[in-house]
Amino acid sequence: MKLISKTIKTALLSALSISTVAIAAAPPASTPSTEMEVKAALFGGVPGGRWKEGLLFEGIRPQPWLQSAANWFPGTEDVQPNEMRITFMGTSPMIRPGQMNTSIFVELGNGDNFVFDIGEGSVANYVAARVALNQINNIFLTHLHVDHFGALPYVYMFGGWAGRWHEPLRIHGPSGRKPEFGTKAMVEGMKQMLAWHRQAFSVFPVGQGHDVAVTEFDFRDNGGTVYEKNNVKVIHWQRSHAMDGASAYRLDWKINDTESLCFVWTGDGRPSELDKKYAKGCDVYVTELQQEVVEINSGVQGVPPFLARYTIDTHHTPGYAAGYVANQIKPRIFMTTHMTFDPWLNEESVAEVREHWKGPYHFGAPDGIVVNVTPDSIWVRDGILPDYPNSRAPQQDFSSGQLVVPVPQFKREDLQEPFIREQQVDPDKYYPSGYKPELLEDWPVKKDLVVPYENLPENLKQSMGGHWELKNKNQKALDEMNNK
């Protein structure tokens, strides 16, 4: 389009203005059709409440505020005060460009966000979905298979650098058969692995960004509460996944005295009676699914059939079982993830689930699937995640009326011998004459930098305070709703 020549452009413009002139001379009005004709043509095949259309279910419909009922475009829709928005950021145990390792992002209308598992590669989709790196917090790990927590080191280090200055990284996860298999031990191991990185990043203003708050719960404490705050409660229960220390989560959010929303992510495991007990009646029930096609699958995916069969039967939920359990739980919508999304396989997945579950069902795959949930409607869309997104600005809570940038713990002089700094090329040699930026080689402030909110530039208030503003706005609406 950029190559359109000036002459063609002018020609197009003049053609357009000619037609405008032609329209301006109003055409003669035609005789209106009869009411019967209009009704027959415009409303003929449309149900208009007279019959039920298609196989969709009651309450499965797009909400009025959606910018497009077909697709979700990140950054174009606010989470509504009484809404739960669920985005599948990673959807497969076998990582590939369109399907990163498992992660599910749950945003609530009260401004609270939750991350369920944080598999390798999923951060790319968070960035594409306009989630700031410092917003990837409140992480609930179902278990310590690396396809469920592989992105944790990145989130820990780069989230701290990118604005998680005033709160620790909060991680929740099960204990193990022995202390060394628990979530706490994993975090200690991760810190050790990141010793160099952590020290190196301490020349930045990270504040509390390198602190981790781990909540390790006893994996045997079925139905135990792992989190309770701001009308949100998360419970957990055990899953049979070859080794102790695999858990499922159920999040319940009480919107007001009469309404609440619930989300379950079972993580990996064999179908169990505990799932039926603890997930019962939840609005959105998400489990994993493995299709019963080990031989064909081996030809397509390259997993030897005996290995596939053994892996499923010791670790996973067959499609038939997923539908069977869903039918006991009876959610408002049933979703499966942690599964390959392929044209040849998708019908099979549906057919297996449909053996037992006849209610609303959707794939939580591939990456970018978005679910809008309110007390009266649910809609599932394909999110349009760009390939080359850039990060959202660090989101800050300005409740204190200030932006506080913490003073860095170290200078380069503390972490580096002088030799290699002395070898740096003199900037005057490469900056062209007449141009030289003011170099920031030493952090210019000796203590925390504190800027009153009202003194911040307008664009910074908007970019860094976006989530805080939405949270305040929604909280007000929720308070009004509750006072009615």
Residues that bind Zn ion (CB under 5 A): 93, 145, 147, 268
Closer CB to Zn ion, residue 110 or residue 272?
272
Closest to 362 (Cα-Cα) out of 105, 86, 96? 86
Q: Is the peptide bond before 366 cis (omega within 30 degrees of 0)?
A: yes
Closer CB to Zn ion, residue 93 or residue 408?
93
Closest to 127 (Cα-Cα) out of 167, 96, 159? 159
Closer CB to Zn ion, residue 245 or residue 408?
245
> Six-digit token pair at 6?
């000036």
Least spacing, CB of residue 390 vs Zn ion, in Å: 30
Please identify which residue in the block is written with the tokens 């499966």. 336
Helices (runs of H) and strands (runs of E) counted in the chain:
16, 18
Closer CB to Zn ion, residue 236 or residue 381?
236
Q: What angle do CA 181, 185, 190 make, to 5 degrees?
A: 120
What's the CA gap between 106 and 83, in Å, rounded? 10
Least spacing, CB of residue 315 vs Zn ion, in Å: 6
Least spacing, CB of residue 68 vs Zn ion, in Å: 32
User: Strands of 169-174's sheet, edge to edge?
Assistant: 71-72, 378-383, 369-373, 84-90, 103-108, 113-116, 139-140, 169-174, 212-217
Closer CB to Zn ion, residue 98 or residue 427?
98
Closer CB to Zn ion, residue 316 or residue 381?
316
Least spacing, CB of residue 117 vs Zn ion, in Å: 8
Least spacing, CB of residue 268 vs Zn ion, in Å: 4
Least spacing, CB of residue 402 vs Zn ion, in Å: 43
Q: Any bridge partners for residue 290, and if so which?
A: 318
| Chain centroid offset of residue 368 CA | 8
